[in-house]
Chains A and B, each alone.
Chain A
Amino acid sequence: MSRFFKSLALALLLGASMPAAFALDDFAAVGRPATPAEIKAWDIDVGPDFAGLPQGSGSVEQGQAVFEEKCAVCHGSFGESNKVFSPLVGGVEKGDLVTGHVAALLRKDFPARTTFMKVATVSTLFDYIRRAMPWNAPKSLNNDQVYAVLAYLLNLSDIVTDDFVLNDRTIRDVQKIMPNRNGMTYEHSMWPSPVFSGKPVKPDTANTACMSKCKAAPELVSSLPDYALSSHGNLAEQNRSFGEVRGRKTAESAPVAEKPTPLKIAETAGCLGCHAINAKGVGPAYAEVAAKYKGENASARLVAKIRGGGAGVWGDVAMPAQEDIKDADLQAVVAWVLAGAAEK
């Protein structure tokens, strides 16, 4: 008997007692049961009630070491950097731990909004660091390292002391003093049911479709300054050369490149995600690489290294193997880097 008829027979047999919502195995031989090991491998989310939180622990001190090695290149040693991403740390005051409202969110003279100023749930940070960090090697931290990194960030935000050890029990105490834990509101109409607000909420604006003499005169409050017109390139090239309008010429046209420049190849291949030309990023600056190998014939070595990946020359962050870039492109990029990585 096919699986479909088996389930049909079962459904008929149990029909009277089965809740209507259950309609198991609707499609014969489509899909298969997930094994417990498979569910365990992917079921990595941790919710605000800490369901799914794994066992483990990490100290502030351990976290500092992991952070310096794997996170500081993007976030800065103290989670303060605005270079690659918005700052993680800053803007939290001692009093916020008591009120559960970050006071700086009301300050007009404090435009920054760091992660710790916003987040209400410490589970969010654990969940995210575990699933997505480090940026170029997600899911490479073990649970103890995740606890440690989070402990270090909590310490930088003055939420826990220098000797604090974060684990699957103490994290619940941390939640009670999260600085913006009371900073969320569900009083809005932008979820399709009142499951959060408890009652239906009307949209917060109520314009009308007035058709004539709707106001005395239009009040023009903002327009694009002239200098900003050219900030997005030559708008003439961003519109067709025929039709009812033309784009305004806002910059000189870039010369048409015969073939992509090495810089463009590097950008397209994703190299610039980790390497910058003059500044150290996740990986070394191209200028540093050029300086190191100056006078050597390092081309073949670097091509092999980029192709196969490697670690240890520039620190402990591994350079992942680059299998997708074409040979000719790779050689062009290496030659360009060794020649000093000119930006033009």
Chain B
Amino acid sequence: MAIGLDDDALTRARFDTLQARIRKAPENFLDAGMILEVGRGRRDVLRGAFVAALAALGGSARAVAEEAKPAGEDAILKLPPWSTSLGRPVAATPYGMPSKYETAMLRRQSPGLTQVAASSVSFMPLQGMFGIITPSGLHFERHHQGWQEIDPSQHRLMVHGSSDEFVRKAKVYTLDDLMRIPSVSRMHFIECGANTGMEWGNVAVPTVQYTHGMLSCSEFTGVPLRTLLEDCGVDLKKAKFVLAEGADGSSMTRTIPIELVTSGEAIVAYGQNGEMLRPENGYPLRLVVPGVQGVSWVKWLRRIKVGDQPWATKDEAVHYMDLMPDGQHRQYTSIQECKSVITSPSGGQTLLDKGSYNVTGLAWSGRGKISRVDVSFDGGVNWVGAQLQTPVLPKCLTRFNVGWIWDGGPALLQSRAMDETGFVQPGYRQLRDVRGVRSIYHNNAIQSWKVSESGEVGNVQIL
């Protein structure tokens, strides 16, 4: 069978689970009263308790007699090689790598989405990530003209104005310069404006990696752009827009809202998760524009220009515009509105067995903090509040969890986030009523996963 359940693997997994479950080690067999008595020196009590515990294991006197074949699983009773040998030395891998067993969590392309890999997307494996931080090596990629390896000693950042009235003194900064300026480190999500774009009209892809994987979250370190503009003598009363430009072949440009510069939120970043940015993410310098779609976070940042007109660059006048049902394009749509998704269980997965599960996922908003997340198991008829995991930060991913006992019946899982402005993530009906189905960008609809009786989870859309 080419498609469908991997029967063998699943049976094996269920058997393993069962094995691990039924043979309990005789721990916690002392109740509080017994512990007190043992503490007072009554060892005969302990001896009696041992016999009772072994009896409870199911073998009574027989269990004691059959010492040759003790009850328990080999994973415990037979010591594995890693418990009985010398391990490897420090710095065996000077830059540490994931375990050799971690082969599943990789960035992946979505087949058929683009024709050329240098102008494409790789998606982050949301289905197996924990917490909120994306490991730098798994950060999603979107390049318009390939990625470059830039020599940091040759990299320059130029700051200037459309004219002298915006910036009095055009300046050039090296990495040496930028790293001497007091820095800030902040955690923010970055989401491509086209994330979930394949699903505007109907279900198109099987897993959360492909539906929502143009999303990542890192701690970024750098200098607030405002600090640099002030250092160049900016007139923030005259300035209305900022142009950011990359040093790569595409020299990609985007018009940046001055509001996020004056607020101090926009950062000229060199650090990502404690180390330098990865080349695929803009090494050695990128712009961080919290809450705004990823295309504005210009990578390999080489130039900042201040003016009072938007630039209508290619990626804001040909792409990254939202086509409305009346044929008009919404231009300069930038903020990523409140959104959430359950990452496990999610599409393409199979539940092991009936019983307890942790339903977990991510919520985020380009307008601030997440204030709550609700989860439905019946396709949105009834909802329960999920637990928000700390930290809950503005314009940052927030992890949510909720316990669930799967009774083996069909279920429709959804999550619905609300942000601190009171805005509630829309459903597909609400979104399509206003924007139709051809927008491509900014699909923040409630995602639905259908759990069937077999335990298989599939991608569905619910109105």
The yes or no verdict on A and B being binding partners is yes
Measuring CB to CB, which residues of chain A are less than 8 angstroms from any residue of chain B?
A: 19, 21-27, 30-34, 38-39, 42-45, 47-49, 51, 83-85, 101-103, 105-106, 113, 115, 118-121, 123-125, 127-128, 131-132, 135, 138-139, 180, 183-193, 195-196, 203-224, 226-233, 235-241, 243-252, 267, 270, 272-273
Is there an interface contact between B206 and A231, defined as CB atoms closer than 8 Å? yes
Q: Are B318 and A118 in touch, CB under 8 angstroms?
A: yes
Q: Which residues of A contact B278 (CB under 8 A)?
A: none
A228 touches B206 (CB 8 A): yes
Q: Which residues of B contact A193 (CB under 8 A)?
A: 257, 259
- Name B's A-contacting residues (CB within 8 A): 2-6, 9-10, 13, 101-106, 108, 110-112, 115-119, 125, 127-128, 144-146, 158-160, 162, 168-173, 177, 180-181, 202-207, 209-210, 227, 230-237, 240-241, 243, 245, 249-253, 257, 259-260, 291, 302-303, 305, 307, 309-314, 317-318, 321-324, 326-335, 337, 344-345, 347-352, 357-358, 372, 374, 378-384, 412, 416, 418, 423-428, 430-431, 434-435, 442, 448, 450, 456-463
Distance of A188 Cα from B323 Cα, bound (Å): 12
Instruction: Report the minimal beta-carbon distance from A274 to chain B, rounded to whole angstroms.
Output: 9
A246 CB → nearest B CB, Å: 5
* A188-B333, A244-B345, A250-B3 as given contacts; A212 in contact with B382, CB under 8 Å: yes
Task: Tell me the complex Cα distance, A131–B245, Å.
Answer: 11
- Chain A residues closer than 8 Å to B230, beta-carbon distance: 21-24, 26
| Chain A residue nearest in CB terms to B319 | A118
The answer to whether A132 and B250 touch across the interface, beta carbons within 8 angstroms, is yes
A139, B247: Cα distance in complex, Å = 12
Query: By the criterion CB–CB under 8 Å, are A248 and B332 in contact?
Result: no
12 contacts between A and B (CB under 8 A): A25-B169, A31-B172, A83-B115, A119-B318, A127-B311, A135-B145, A214-B381, A219-B463, A221-B202, A221-B461, A245-B352, A251-B3
Name A251's closest neighbour in chain B (CB-CB): B2
Give the distance in Å from the alpha carbon of A188 to the alpha carbon of B234 in the complex.
29
Kindly state the separation between the CA atoms of A231 and B101 in the bound complex, as whole angstroms.
25
Report how far A131 CA is from B313 CA in the complex, Å. 11
Q: In whole angstroms, what is the CA distance A140 to B121 when docked? A: 26
The CA-CA distance from A233 to B328 in the complex, in Å, is: 37
Residue ID in chain B nearest A123 by CB atoms:
B312
Question: Chain B's interface: helix, strand, loop or mixed, by majority?
Answer: loop
- Expressed in whole angstroms, the Cα–Cα distance for A41 and B116 within the complex equals 30
Q: For A253, give the chain B residue with the smallest CB separation.
A: B6
Other A-B contacts than A125-B314, A238-B127, A246-B9, 8 sampled, CB-CB below 8 A, are: A132-B314, A184-B331, A195-B241, A214-B381, A229-B3, A241-B104, A245-B457, A252-B2
Task: Report whether B206 and A131 are in contact in the complex, using a CB–CB cutoff of 8 Å.
Answer: no
Q: How far is the CA of A23 from the CA of B450 in the complex (A)?
A: 57
Q: How far is the CA of A214 from the CA of B381 in the complex (A)?
A: 5
**Which B residue's beta carbon lies closest to that of A137?**
B249
Instruction: Tell me the nearest residue of chain B to A219, going by C-beta.
Output: B463
- B157 to nearest A CB, angstroms? 9
**A221 in contact with B462 given A128-B314, A186-B331, A232-B111 (CB within 8 Å):** yes
Do the beta carbons of A38 and B463 come within 8 Å of each other?
no
Q: How far is the CB of B365 from chain A (nearest CB, A)?
A: 11
Q: Which residues of A contact B4 (CB under 8 A)?
A: 248-250
Is B245 in contact with A24, judged by CB distance below 8 angstroms?
no
Q: Top 9 closest A-B pairs, CB basis?
A: A218-B379, A249-B6, A205-B426, A24-B233, A128-B314, A235-B348, A207-B424, A245-B349, A34-B170
**Contact B426–A43 (Cβ < 8 Å):** no
| Interchain CB contact under 8 A, B431 and A205 | yes
In the bound complex, do residue B110 and residue A119 qualify as a contact, i.e. CB atoms below 8 Å apart? Answer: no
Bound Cα distance from A240 to B13, whole angstroms:
12
B236 (CB) vs chain A CBs: closest residue: A21
State in angstroms the CA–CA spacing of A186 and B321 once bound together: 11
* B280 → chain A closest CB, angstroms: 13
**B309 CB → nearest A CB, Å:** 6
Closest CB-CB distance, A220 to chain B, in whole Å? 6
Specify which chain B residues have a CB less than 8 angstroms from the CB of A123 in the assembled complex.
Answer: 312
Q: Is the CB of B333 within 8 A of A191?
A: yes
CB distance from A204 to the nearest CB of B (A): 5
Q: Does A47 lie within 8 Å of B203, measured CB to CB?
A: no
Report if A248-B348 is in contact (Cβ < 8 Å); known contacts: A131-B251, A212-B382, A214-B381. yes
Report B100 CB to chain A, min CB distance, Å.
Answer: 12
Contact yes or no, B203 A238, CB < 8 A: no
Do the beta carbons of A247 and B104 come within 8 Å of each other?
Answer: yes
Interface centre among A193, A216, A220, A270 (most CB of B within 10 A): A220
Contact between A22 and B233, CB atoms less than 8 A apart:
yes
Contact assessment for B117 and A272 in the assembled complex, using a CB-CB cutoff below 8 Å: yes
The residue on A at minimum CB distance from B231 is A26
Q: How many angstroms between the C-alpha atoms of A145 and B360 in the bound complex?
A: 55
User: What's the least CB distance linking A272 to chain B, in Å?
Assistant: 7
With the chains together, A83 CA to B114 CA distance in Å?
10
Contact partner, A121, options B103, B145, B317, B357, Cβ 8 Å: B317
Residue in A closest to B347 when the chains form the complex, CB atoms: A224
A192 and B262 CA atoms in complex are apart in Å by 12
Q: A24-B169, A250-B3 are in contact. Are A132 and B181 (CB under 8 A)?
A: no
Asked if B324 and A185 make an inter-chain contact with CB atoms under 8 angstroms apart, the answer reads yes
Complex CA distance for A190 and B272, rounded to whole angstroms:
27
Q: Is A221 a contact partner of B327 (Cβ separation < 8 A)? A: no
Contact of B317 among A23, A124, A224 (CB under 8 A): A124
Residues of B close to A30: CB separation below 8 A: 173, 177, 180-181, 231
Nearest chain A CB to B38 CB, angstrom units: 37
Enumerate chain B residues within 8 angstroms of A21, measured Cβ to Cβ. 230, 234-237
